[in-house]
Amino acid sequence: MPVTIRDVAKRLKLSITTVSRALDGYDDVAAETRERVIRVAREMGYVPSRAARQLRRQRADAIGYIIPTSKPRFADPFFSEFIAGLGDEAASRHFDLLVSTASPGEAEGQMYERWTQSKRVDGLVLSRMRLNDWRVEYLAQMGFPFVTLGRTAMPIDHPYIEVDGRAGFAALVRHLAAWEHRRIAYIGAPPDLKLQADRLAGYRAGLEAVGIAFDDALVAEGHLTRVGGYEAARLLLSLPEPPTALIGANDLTAIGAMRAARERGLIVGRDLAVAGFDGIEDAEHTQPPLTTLNQPVYELARRLVSMLLSLLDGEPLAERHILLQPELIVRESTGG
Amino acid sequence: MPVTIRDVAKRLKLSITTVSRALDGYDDVAAETRERVIRVAREMGYVPSRAARQLRRQRADAIGYIIPTSKPRFADPFFSEFIAGLGDEAASRHFDLLVSTASPGEAEGQMYERWTQSKRVDGLVLSRMRLNDWRVEYLAQMGFPFVTLGRTAMPIDHPYIEVDGRAGFAALVRHLAAWEHRRIAYIGAPPDLKLQADRLAGYRAGLEAVGIAFDDALVAEGHLTRVGGYEAARLLLSLPEPPTALIGANDLTAIGAMRAARERGLIVGRDLAVAGFDGIEDAEHTQPPLTTLNQPVYELARRLVSMLLSLLDGEPLAERHILLQPELIVRESTGG
DNA sequence: GTGAAAGCGCTAACAT
DNA sequence: ATGTTAGCGCTTTCAC
């Protein structure tokens, strides 16, 4: 039913080879022929069959991203923006983006296997890296192309972009200390995540830099969710000596913490400083607006795809490892 | 390099035909043979090539969703949840989900064309329907399978699920009127959207039901975004006779409106009632928590995919048109 | 119950 | 500069 390259060739009284090459812009077809081919192909509404091309070229012209989430409602705006970036960059390079969700666990492994084995995708983008990440091990060992947002703690080399959570949180702690905060709490992420190791290290480094002793009791674990932040903050705020400042591992955590503060009758920005990480749009609209460390998620995503596609094309990467600094955006939630 | 059906056949000393049929569970292979085939195939790590299968069967085993958004940062959690639902249901049925973003306009048309023409996907899911939606026209005319979240105003029949915005907003207005509100404002969506027509109609129907005259001045346009809601609310609240209640076409709009209220020194829930639509998670964490009309986005998405896949399999749909009622969730933002 | 063979639509050696 | 040919890996008649 649909127009094939054969139909076009027949109409033009050319071989399908010539048509194929003309369409792909090879330079061994006469300029005039090429133009005729292109014109007629368009007229006839010819669209190359992806499946045939893939089968022949052994390449899917698609990349994949598996959203790492545990809940059906992965309400983190971070991912929305990330996916938008991935999709836009991929589309602009005529690649498809396959998306799936899988919580870390068995099903996750199956997804990765399915996509890599069946060559449904030519490359993968990973995010929310674990310190010890079997995905990296698996893909590296398979020789399957991938890029990651963030590193692991493993010695396996691969292209990545990382946003410097350590430096960011250290700067944030110094900022809070400059406002006379001495009891600064940290609501972290699950301990197996690289970002948790980094951000916690940054928090500790910041404390040390300003001469505040690290206090175990002021560190809690959230789940990078509003609810996680809320619950952790409730505990921290009910301490005999509650903190005067609260840092969330991400903005959602901080937003949840703000709610806990309000419920205790605290005015955020006056009685309690709160800050997060990510720079999601919500953070501008909270009451009061949230101080945060901004990372350019959309751009990050585009750049990652760009790196991945270079990898696929066998082009050398200008930069294989990119470290970006998050930008401290000070808003009312930390006083002022 | 990868194991093909040929390798498996050779190892088993069977024809590829038999292997293929055994793997697909046909009943004309000896049970014993089938088991051997399946076992050996697994042992050898055989994974069928998608491209080959697609080419042969003329079917992609994939569905597509183009996120309708105008900005790079499509921070609406609605879409996150929707995509999660689409992806999960698709994956559970062994389909891929292709995702792309395109703002309504020319690029959007190209995306739809690309996906339908190249048979990259077997079916499409549409959302955020327009009253007059060329996408529906185009796909219907092409005979391309699709399902939609929401209807259009056109006479073209297709499977859809719709959440009754009209009934929802009518109920919401009645609820507000019961709390003695007489000046109820509505911050709508762009006028070409079906949901806007419905929700506005519901608003008007609600007013009429409780005997409040419709007042043009109390209707503003947002863009279904926080910023849109914020700006519209600023205008409305600076009216000589400002509203005492504010309905946003969605939760983001309402959240933006709450911010505008705070900036004017109004206490939401006491000086001003605010309500939205969607039931996104943010709405539970605002200050105060937001009254909203909840729609089960994740489930909707799964059901839409389920409908679409039935369509692709030529199965008759149990229900071709589904109308669901949103659930009014009353929280503190509307007093109480 | 199993196998031989054709062909999905395309690309890329290898002619000419 | 253009054409011939051989598959890519799979499914599916059609024989046996």
Determine the average pLDDT of the residues in B193-219. 97
Same domain? For B129 and B196 the reply is no
Query: Does residue B87 carry a pLDDT above 80?
Result: yes
A-chain residues within 8 Å CB-CB of B262? 287
Nearest to B100 among A76, A87, A259 (CB): A87
Q: For chain A, how many structural domains are there in total?
A: 3
What local confidence, expressed as pLDDT, does residue B285 receive? 86
Nearest to A80 among B74, B256, B287 (CB): B74
A-chain residues within 8 Å CB-CB of B82? none
What local confidence, expressed as pLDDT, does residue B336 receive? 65
Tell me the pLDDT tens digit for each residue of B141-181: 999 999 999 999 999 999 999 999 999 999 999 999 999 99
Nearest nucleotide over every DNA/RNA strand to the B118 CA, judged by C1': C9
Same domain? For A71 and A124 the reply is yes
Interhelix angle A16-23/A5-12, nearest 10 degrees:
110
Tell me the pLDDT tens digit for each residue of A234-292: 999 999 999 999 999 999 999 999 999 999 999 999 999 999 999 998 899 888 999 99
Distance (Å) from the alpha carbon of B212 to chain A's nearest alpha carbon: 32
Nearest nucleotide over every DNA/RNA strand to the B51 CA, judged by C1': D9
Q: Of B57, B74, B90, which residue is a domain's last?
A: B57
Tell me the pLDDT tens digit for each residue of A71-91: 656 678 888 899 999 999 999
Determine the average pLDDT of the residues in A141-156. 96
Strand C lies under 7 A from the Cβ of residue B99: no
CA-closest candidate to residue A65, choices A1, A136, A147, A184: A147
- Write the CATH number for B116: 3.40.50.2300
Same domain? For B51 and B67 the reply is no
Same domain? For B158 and B301 the reply is yes
Same domain? For A139 and A221 the reply is no
Contact yes or no for A50 and B73 at CB 8 A: no
Query: Which residue on chain B is closest to A98 by alpha carbon?
Result: B98
What local confidence, expressed as pLDDT, does residue B69 receive? 78
Nearest-CA residue relative to C1' of D2: A18
H helices of chain B, where?
Answer: 5-12, 16-23, 31-44, 50-57, 77-92, 106-117, 134-142, 165-178, 194-209, 226-237, 251-263, 282-285, 297-312
Nearest nucleotide over every DNA/RNA strand to the A29 CA, judged by C1': D1
Nearest nucleotide over every DNA/RNA strand to the A51 CA, judged by C1': C9
Q: What torsion, rounded to 10 degrees, do the Cα atoms B170, B176, B178, B182 define?
A: -100
Same domain? For B170 and B288 the reply is yes
Same domain? For A192 and A224 the reply is yes
Determine the average pLDDT of the residues in B24-30. 82
What percentage of chain B carries pLDDT values higher than 70? 98
Nearest to A259 among B74, B285, B298 (CB): B285
Tell me the pLDDT tens digit for each residue of A277-315: 999 988 998 889 999 999 999 999 999 999 999 999 888
Q: CA–C1' distance A16–D2 (Å)?
A: 10
Same domain? For B200 and B141 the reply is no
Same domain? For A277 and A203 the reply is yes
B-chain residues within 8 Å CB-CB of A49? 55, 118-119
Contact yes or no for B282 and A282 at CB 8 A: yes
The CA distance from B282 to B60, in Å, is 37
Query: Which residue on chain A is closest to B113 by alpha carbon?
Result: A47
Instruction: Enumerate the nucleotides of strand C whose atoms come under 7 Å of any protein CB.
Output: 1-5, 7-13
Query: Which residue on chain B is closest to A100 by alpha carbon?
Result: B87
Query: Which residue on chain A is closest to B261 by alpha carbon?
Result: A287
Contact yes or no for A84 and B97 at CB 8 A: no
Determine the average pLDDT of the residues in A108-129. 90
Q: CA–CA distance from A114 to each of A37, A119, B45, B224, B270 (Å)? A: 38, 8, 11, 37, 54
Query: Which residue on chain A is closest to B253 by alpha carbon?
Result: A285
Residues 6+ apart with CB under 8 A from B328: B168, B171, B172, B175, B291, B292, B293, B294
Query: Which of B61, B101, B227, B272 is the best substitution to test chain A (most A C-beta atoms within 10 A)?
Result: B101
Which residue has tokens 């608003």? B203
Q: What torsion, rounded to 10 degrees, do the Cα atoms A32, A34, A37, A39 define?
A: -80
Half-sphere exposure of A112 (CA within 13 A, CB side): 25
What percentage of chain B carries pLDDT values higher than 90? 70
Nearest to A226 among B99, B262, B285 (CB): B285
Same domain? For A13 and A47 the reply is yes
Contact yes or no for A101 and B88 at CB 8 A: yes
Nearest nucleotide over every DNA/RNA strand to the A20 CA, judged by C1': C11
Tell me the pLDDT tens digit for each residue of B111-132: 898 888 888 899 999 999 999 9
Listing DSSP states for B104-135 in one string gives TTHHHHHHHHHHHHTT--SEEEE-S-BSS-HH
B-chain residues within 8 Å CB-CB of A111? 91
Contact yes or no for B119 and A2 at CB 8 A: yes
The CA distance from B39 to B11, in Å, is 12
Strand C lies under 7 A from the Cβ of residue A190: no
Q: Assign A36 a pLDDT band (cuts: 50, 70, 90).
A: confident
Strand C lies under 7 A from the Cβ of residue B30: yes
Nearest nucleotide over every DNA/RNA strand to the A37 CA, judged by C1': D2
Nearest-CA residue relative to C1' of C9: A52
Strand C lies under 7 A from the Cβ of residue B5: no
Distance (Å) from the alpha carbon of A327 to chain B's nearest alpha carbon: 18
Same domain? For A118 and A198 the reply is no
Strand partners, B276: B292
What local confidence, expressed as pLDDT, does residue A70 receive? 65
Nearest to A99 among B75, B81, B97 (CB): B97
Same domain? For A121 and A96 the reply is yes
CB A160 within 8 A of CB A193: no
Query: Does residue B49 carry a pLDDT above 60?
Result: yes
What is the bridge-based pairing of β-strands B160-163 and B62-68? unpaired
Range of the domain at B39: 5-57
